[in-house]
Amino acid sequence: MRTVLNVLNFVLGGFLTTLSWLLATLVSIIFIFTLPLTRSCWEITKLSFVPYGNEAVHVDELNPQGKSAILNTGGTLLNIIWLIFFGWWLCLLHIATGIAQCITIIGIPVGIANFKIAVIALWPVGRRVVSVEVAQAAREANARRRFQ
């Protein structure tokens, strides 16, 4: 089922959003001050290309022992730079694509996935794209650790 939905996403406009993320990745490589954003761009490019079966998870959920106030502050500053240069137009693109997909009855599930990616497009630094199973296992391990 994931494969069918991923193909449907690609056909109904996912290729445009993926190309936009690739463009943002290339621009972040070209400008030296945006080079730290490249990893986040690439991660969300993968999610935009194959949204079903993958999920964007914050690195603090994947590795709670590696939390650092300095890294979180740096990530916040990078997210602000991201929002100014790339985030707002990628978010609008995902919203427009999601609306267009929801107009077609068959595209409603794909449109909802684009709305989820639109939220991530605003604040992507510190997120990694992992399989749904890995994300669920990380959440369960964090819950067990938190409530023991």
> In the prediction, which pLDDT does 63 show?
78
pTM of the shown model: 0.84
How many domains does the structure of the chain reveal?
1
pLDDT digits (tens, 9 = 90+) for 13-34: 889 999 999 998 898 888 887 7
46 pLDDT more than 80: yes
SS (H, E, C) 51-81: CCCEEEEEHHHHCHHHCCHHHHHHHHHHHHH
Q: How far, in Å, CA of 132 to CA of 144, rounded?
A: 18
> What range does the domain containing 81 cover?
1-147
Report the pLDDT value the prediction gives residue 114, as an integer from 0 to 100: 92
